[in-house]
Chains A and B, each alone.
Chain A
């Protein structure tokens, strides 16, 4: 059972802004960076946000990340149909063990 809690689902209509939260603790998010991964059914996860708020080359700027204290958020502005996927936050604990969030399924209505 993951120690990083995300809402199971989130949804919005095209063009809307959707936010996904990721709640952790002092020994993980509180002392480390947060990354976000996007996963489509049957495919490998893809890096979406790294080091809290950095976008890899090729990731649209409608995706943004932030971190405050022991929580982090992923925002999708101008939601598009192709954004329908599962999203996972990830961080490292004090022993540098990796941790993934519980995952959030984003649906475009």
Chain B
């Protein structure tokens, strides 16, 4: 059974760093792209970026380029999303999702349960 299990909720102060995780199981982790999606409180879904764990090829949304860092560890089948200096506006729920498909016919078939990040002084 394919599963993406994300790390637990975090409460941080502005300026602090954070790294959240998404552990894949039940499939070959290195063969599928993993994407990250932000959902701010009461708002819609926003595509942040995507990583191919097989070779760590990464694509960032222009809106998030430079704001976050996406990475992956093949040895533990885990993808990461990190911030070096959090802002209050980073308060949101973050989802990871597995991308499948070929030649542009892509979609996210499995999603993690989400990680709620709260940034407050």
Which A residues lie at the B interface, using CB under 8 A? 2, 32-33, 35, 37, 39, 43-47, 50-51, 56, 88, 90, 92, 96-103
Contact = CB atoms under 8 A, between A and B. Distances in A.
B19 interface: no
A37 B47 CA distance: 13
A88 B106 contact: no
Contact of B44 (A32, A35, A97, A102): A102
A2 B61 CA distance: 12
B9 to A, nearest CB: 12
Contacts of B104: 32-33, 92, 96
B108 A33 contact: no
Contacts of B35: 98
A60 B26 CA distance: 25
Nearest to B109: A47
Nearest to B4: A44
A44 B113 contact: yes
A97 B61 contact: yes
B24 interface: no
Interface string B82-95: 00000000000001
Contact of B47 (A47, A56, A100, A103): A100
Given A90-B45, A90-B47, 4 more contacts: A2-B44, A37-B108, A96-B104, A102-B44
A44 B115 CA distance: 10
